[in-house]
Amino acid sequence: MLTKRIIPCLDVKDGRVVKGVNFVDLRDAGDPVECGIAYDKAGADELVFLDITASSDRRNIVADMVRKVAETVFIPFTVGGGIRSVEDFRAILREGADKIAVNSAAIDDPYLISRAADKFGSQCVVVAIDARRRRVGKAADPSLSYSESIKINDEWQPKDGWTIYKNGGRLDMNIDAIEWAKRCEELGAGEILLTSMDADGTKAGYDNELTRMVAENVGIPVIASGGAGTKEHFYDTLTYGKADAALAASLFHFKELEIKEVKEYLAAKDVPVRL
């Protein structure tokens, strides 16, 4: 079994690390450069930096901040937010990022994934998927695939599952999350960063059903995001959820758990981690 990764996430707004619940009610969690240094020293396997309002504000990511973080950390560093073109990929990779995460731009132009993968390699292309559960009642036929519909009250509706959102969780695209993840892989994505909007910031546990469904339908690594609250939650998503990595934010930002503590717990449960 490949080594599982623990990844802190820096959600950045107006130059500060922030964290909320269900994508709203944001709290300040510190300076991104200082946070990056601390996580590098704390034993994080990778670091994710997301400028959470760059896409919705239709502006470019803050390049100088990316450069400052990259200069101070020595672990793989993924950057996302406001990336719209292959040139944006090039610019941020040049500032020191190892991987680029795209969400809204990939939804608007799926072939951006292919163009970036052709230019820089699939290993540099991470597709971030923000997904929220949809429910259409108990009439769903479990034999149907996620791409099929069912008839409820004489109306055709999508089967119970998850749909994807863009612009920082503001706009429902009415696209099935499982089908979108499969397409992203086909287009050349090297990794999926999968966030459950329902679980985000709740500390009630990852959406392991969602994570497992995506992991079982793609052949590329899946990073579970949204909902970490205990050491057990990491174990559950890395085992039952079949995630290759687990991402967390507020839990680490506010020192409720240390990365070393999580890794030692996982190692004791025979989950392969880098200690």
Active site residue 31: no
d(CA 26, CA 118): 37
Of 35 and 3, the one with more pLDDT: 3
d(CA 197, CA 201): 9
- Amino acid (one-letter) located at 118: D
Partners of 196 in the β-ladder: 131
Go through the chain and tell me how many residues it has. Answer: 275
Domains of the chain, each with CATH number or no CATH: 5-268 (3.20.20.70)
d(CA 101, CA 109): 14
Give the global pTM.
0.86
Nearest to 193, CA basis, from 236, 120, 233, 249: 249
Of 23 and 171, the one with more pLDDT: 171
200-254 residue pLDDT tens: 888 999 999 999 999 999 999 999 999 999 999 999 999 999 999 999 988 888 8
d(CA 10, CA 250): 9
Nearest to 7, CA basis, from 268, 251, 241, 254: 251
d(CA 231, CA 101): 26
44-96 residue pLDDT tens: 999 998 886 554 445 455 688 889 889 999 999 999 988 999 999 999 999 99
Tokens of 127: 């597709």
CA separation (Å) from 197 to 100, 162, 224? 21, 10, 12
- Given the residues 51, 130, 200, 207, the one annotated as active site: 130
Q: What pLDDT sits at residue 66? A: 87
Determine what percent of the chain is predicted with pLDDT higher than 70.
Answer: 81
d(CA 173, CA 83): 18
d(CA 133, CA 98): 31
- Report yes or no: 49 and 249 within 8 Å, Cβ to Cβ: no
- Report yes or no: 74 and 46 within 8 Å, Cβ to Cβ: no
- Report yes or no: 250 and 214 within 8 Å, Cβ to Cβ: no
Active site residue 130: yes
